[in-house]
Amino acid sequence: MAALEKVLERIDDNQEQALARLFQLLAIKSVSTDPAYTDDCVKAGQFLVDQLQELGFEAGLRPTAGHPIVVGKAKAARPDVPHVLFYGHYDVQPADPLELWQTPPFEPRLAEPEPSHKIIVARGATDDKGQLMTFVEACRAFKETGDFPCNITILFEGEEESGSPSLPGFLAENKAELKADLALICDTGMWDRKTPAITTMLRGLVLEEVVIHGATRDLHSGMFGGAVVNPIHVLSKIIADLHDAEGHVTLPEFYEGVTELPKDVAKQWRELPFDEHHFLKDVGVSIPVGEKDRSVLEMIWSRPTCDVNGIIGGYTGKGSKTVLPAQASAKFSFRLVGQQKPEKVAESFRAFVLERLPADCKAEFISHGASPALQLPFSSEVLSRARRALQAEWGKEAVLAGSGGSIPIVGAFKQDLGMDSLMVGFGLDDDRAHSPNEKYELSSFHKGTRSWARILNALAL
Ligand code: BES
Ligand code: MN
Ligand code: MN
């Protein structure tokens, strides 16, 4: 039997144990943004180090100013094979609101919403623990049946969901150790449950927080209201100004560096069976609010955006309180595409706010990170090999997709380590990533593992 066949058979025979290992990881509450879970983040990192060591990787937990980074290294038996760097993140988003979960978020379970359709339910199931374990399990099958087909370095971080503050520095300090021929990433989605996708475009992200200060203290709105500036009003007006009636973002020079799709890609996207109405209906809405002259797929895959993610100010408790607040704040995110420069967007935004500040108001700015958009060259040899491997596993051509989401470190892989990233993931739009009742298809876990075995094999040929 050929080596790959043995590996695939091993994966099939090992499904129950693989699921048990994933459940162990899912039970660890590795919420990166909340200091209450610092120990759990270490635990999740250590669990992965143990897994990798079991597979013969030279692996360790590397400290950072934040949560530790897992690095593991393994060599192929053959000398002339490519060196890949696999990246994933073991941290997860906070599980709240808890009351909306059908079962506790860190008690993973297998559910069967309809006959012969099984799903894994837990925080992190699809983002990113289930996904990263597809790669680890593929490595396990290689190890248990023979040798690794490529030289493999594994890099798991524990701060992706908080914007990866420690990773860029870690990459810079350990360049020689981490540089490979290609980065592999399993943190994106499929086209649908039966159709794989390779994500060739990933949006960048600029995260900005603004605090508007007015009076020196909260005031009685009867005694001072009408005469004293209200920071919530100021903030609301700035927010309202950020889009025009056509859905464009109004920041000066915001669209500089935004490129149009290559003709053939635009054509492929138009021909994809994507039902805008159904996509919107699924989340309870009906009319797209983005740029009027763009399709919904473009809006989420290849156009830049500005969103307010949260507003805080004044009295938000029960009942009412006649207060004139001294400050108001909001959190903004900008998704970037093409050659848009994260620093320029942040600068333009700050200037935009300052220009609109009335007398007696001050603005305070807090940056929560910035990363550029990414584009994999459509002509790359790696892409054709991955396409063939996915075709063999799923019996269907992989969609060359864009992605609305962002993975902050991917830009640094390209800029600082000169590596392209091959992004193949098995998540679905209805996986409820970041939401209550997050799930991962059992078929994604199983066939995702088989897909990585095929991809690694194809890269080494
Ligand atoms: N896995 C996602 C990125 C993603 C989302 C890829 C959707 C493909 C489709 C990642 O974990 C994520 O959530 N990224 C954040 C960025 C971050 C700084 C919190 C995002 O995109 O909002
Ligand atoms: Mn993720
Ligand atoms: Mn995420």
pLDDT tens-digit profile of 34-65? 999 999 999 999 999 999 999 999 999 999 99
pLDDT for residue 163: 85
Strand blocks (E) in 90-173: 109-114, 117-121, 151-157
Give the closest residue (by CA) to ligand 1 atom 5: 405
pLDDT tens readout for residues 293-330: 899 999 999 999 999 999 999 999 999 999 999 999 99
CB atoms within 10 A of CB 39: 11
Residue 155 CB–ligand 1 contact under 6 Å: no
Q: What span, in angstroms and rounded, lies between the C-alpha atoms of 24 and 106?
A: 10
Predicted TM-score of the model (pTM): 0.91
Q: Are residues 98 and 246 in the same domain?
A: no
Mutate to test the pocket of ligand 1, among 306, 331, 406, 421 (most ligand atoms within 8 A of CB): 406
Residue of higher predicted confidence among 90 and 376: 90
Q: Considering its fold, how many domains does the chain have in total?
A: 2
- Domain residues for 96? 2-202+374-460
For the segment 418-433, the average pLDDT, to the nearest whole number, is 96
Helix axes 15-26, 38-54, angle to 10 degrees: 160
Confirm or reject: Cβ of 204 under 6 Å from ligand 1.
Answer: no
The HSE-up count of residue 107 (CA atoms within 13 Å, CB side) is: 5
125 and 254 in a single domain? The answer is: no
Residue 72 placed within a domain: yes
Residue 233 domain-assigned? Answer: yes
Q: Where among 347, 371, 395 does a domain terminate? A: 371
The mean of the pLDDT values for the chain is 96
Asked whether 406 lines ligand 1 (CB < 6 A), one says: yes
Interatomic CA distance for residues 167 and 207, integer angstroms: 17
pLDDT of 27 strictly over 90: yes
Residue 59's pLDDT is: 98
Residue 126 alpha carbon to ligand 3 centre in Å: 9
- Co-location of 155 and 31 in the same domain: yes
Ligand 1 pocket, residue 126 CB under 6 Å: no
**265 is a domain residue:** no
Report the CATH number that the domain containing residue 399 is assigned in CATH.
3.40.630.10
Q: Is residue 427 very low, low, confident or very high in pLDDT (cuts 50, 70, 90)?
A: very high
pLDDT digit string, tens, across residues 171-197: 999 999 999 999 999 999 999 999 999
Rounded average pLDDT over 89-110: 97
pLDDT digits (tens, 9 = 90+) for 204-263: 999 999 999 999 999 999 999 999 999 999 999 999 999 999 999 999 999 999 999 888
> Residue 13 above 80 pLDDT?
yes
Q: What confidence category does residue 426 fall into, taking pLDDT thresholds of 50, 70 and 90?
A: very high
Q: What is the CATH number of the domain that holds 346?
A: 3.30.70.360
In this prediction, residue 145 carries a pLDDT of: 97
Assess whether the C-beta atom of 160 lies below 6 angstroms from ligand 1: yes
- pLDDT band at residue 31, thresholds of 50, 70 and 90? very high
Q: Based on the fold, state whether residues 229 and 197 are members of the same structural domain.
A: no
In a domain, 99, yes or no: yes
Same domain, 16 and 140: yes
Cα 374 to ligand 2 centre (Å): 16
Question: Residue 92's pLDDT band (boundaries 50, 70, 90)?
Answer: very high
Q: Is 32 in the pocket of ligand 1 (CB under 6 A)?
A: no
Ligand 1, pocket-test mutation among 126, 127, 164, 438, most atoms within 8 A of CB: 127
Q: Which atom of ligand 1 is nearest to the CA of 434?
A: 13
Q: Is residue 287 part of a domain?
A: no
- Return the ligand number nearest the Cα of 132: 2
Same domain flag for 81 and 184: yes
Q: Does residue 2 have a pLDDT over 90? A: no
In a domain, 276, yes or no: no
Specify the range with the lowest mean pLDDT, choosing from 61-75, 262-276, 295-309, 340-354.
262-276
Predicted pLDDT at 1: 64
Question: Does 216 share its domain with 195?
Answer: no
Looking at ligand 1, which residue's alpha carbon is closest to its atom 10?
407
pLDDT of residue 141: 98
